[in-house]
Amino acid sequence: MTTFDYSVRTCDLCGSSDIIINKDEGSLVCKQCGNVIKQNMIDLGREWRIFFGDSDDVGTRTGAPIKFAIHDKGITTDVKLVSKDKSNRVALERALLFSKYQKRIRVSNSNERNMYIAFIMLDEISKKLNLPERVRETAAFIYRKAISSMNSKGKSIKGLLAVSIYAASKICDYPVGLKNILETFNVKSRTFSKYYQIVTEFLPKETNAKMKTNTSINHIPDIVRKLGLGSEVEVTSKNILEKALSSGFIAGKSPLSLAAAAVYIACSLTDNKRTQRQIAEATGVTEVTIRNRSKELIRSLDINIEL
């Protein structure tokens, strides 16, 4: 197959310049003698249509993309009233009836009703926790898997959603503290552990392995930003944690507390003084924990510094 070549101006048999372009069949035909000059050609032009009122540079082919964070994935049709003109009462009542039934159809069973409530909550929590789109969509996907893999009756929406967000943050390498999630959802740690075990049962092994990896380094940029520090502190903090990771010291320690301690040590090494209280307020880790983790990192990495 060849591409459309509009440079052809004459027929190679009769010499006529009256050429017909048949885009449906991908061919060039001479109008005078009927000679098929070229055929089976590919049109590399745009494949979308421009409607009245659209500019030429509009590249929209279809509607909005599928969203897992919407209970019906955003592919349903909304029936809305444009005008509530009461002059034609029969038409108005019919339109109201269509709108009413359409809303019922969107949520047709208990699972859809569960997801409808959960994803409204997810939208609100995402704004509070400042979650990016990728984390939100991954959390919605995990929640869908959980609902489809078990009986949702009697299950806590908050508990499942908290676990889904926690798992999504691990998978997407976006640091979200467990304590922050529990406080935001007002979920007890016992409830969280219960649903965490349920969710990890149906997730792939490679996903579970990624969820168990330490993400202390991923907390560094957020802490540095909150404290108003520069890239020098960020790089130094990451180097400290990388050395600690290679030495095996990080195993079993809280990622957030280690990140806070690494930033505190990096501030001292780079003459960007920040108190333990300032770092504690920015991270939610207690001063005592930061001090203890800092001493442990200094001893394990043999860093010469006075705290």
Q: What is the sign, positive or negative, of the torsion defined by CA atoms of 92, 93, 97, 103?
A: positive
Which three-class secondary structure state does DSSP give residue 209?
A: helix
In a domain, 85, yes or no: no
Same domain (yes/no): 229, 148: no
What is residue 197's predicted lDDT score, i.e. its pLDDT?
Answer: 83
Cβ neighbour number for residue 173 with a 10 Å cutoff: 13
- The answer on 222 and 178 residing in a single domain is no
pLDDT at 99: 77
Per DSSP bridges, beta strands 2-3 and 41-42 are parallel
The residue ranges of DSSP E strands in the chain, in sequence order, are 2-3, 19-22, 27-30, 36-38, 41-42
Residue at 124 is within a domain: yes
> Residue holding tokens 């007002």?
186
Pairing of strands 27-30, 2-3: unpaired
**CATH number of 252's domain:** 1.10.472.10
Low-confidence ranges of the chain (pLDDT < 50): 1-2
Q: Are residues 230 and 200 in the same domain?
A: no
In a domain, residue 197? The reply is yes
Which CATH number characterizes residue 51's domain? 2.20.25.10
**What gap in Å lies between CA 62 and CA 25, rounded to an integer?**
24
Are the C-beta atoms of residues 229 and 264 closer than 8 Å to each other?
no
Question: Is 233:224 a contact under the CB 8 Å cutoff?
Answer: yes
Are 231 and 208 within one domain?
Answer: no
**Total domain count, the chain:** 3
Query: Do 137 and 166 belong together in one domain?
Result: yes
**11 phi and psi angles, rounded to 5 deg:** -80, 135
Q: Is residue 228 part of a domain?
A: yes
Which residue among 197, 212, 227 closes a domain?
212
Residues 190, 226, single domain; the answer is: no
Please tell me whether residues 256 and 204 are part of one structural domain.
no
- What pLDDT score was predicted for residue 109? 74
Instruction: Identify whether 244 is part of a domain.
Output: yes
CA–CA gap between residue 194 and residue 159 (Å, rounded): 9
User: Do 199 and 237 lie in a common domain?
Assistant: no
Find the domain containing 201 and state its range.
110-212
Residue 223 domain-assigned (yes or no): yes
Q: Are residues 222 and 195 in the same domain?
A: no
Last-in-domain residue among 169, 195, 212: 212
176 located within any domain: yes
Q: In this predicted structure, what is the pLDDT of residue 277?
A: 92
Contacts of 218 (CB under 8 A, 6+ apart): 173, 174, 175, 255
Are residues 241 and 208 part of one domain?
no
Same domain, 175 and 192: yes
Buried b (16+ CB within 10 A) or exposed e, 218-240: bbbebbbeebebeeebbebbbeb
Rounded to 5°, angle at Cα 171 from 169 and 172: 65
Query: Which amino acid, residue 195?
Result: Y
- pLDDT at residue number 2: 47
- Does 95 reside within a domain? no
Which three-class secondary structure state does DSSP give residue 79? coil
Phi-psi group of 218: left, alpha or beta (phi > 0 → left; psi -120 to 50 → alpha; rest → beta): alpha
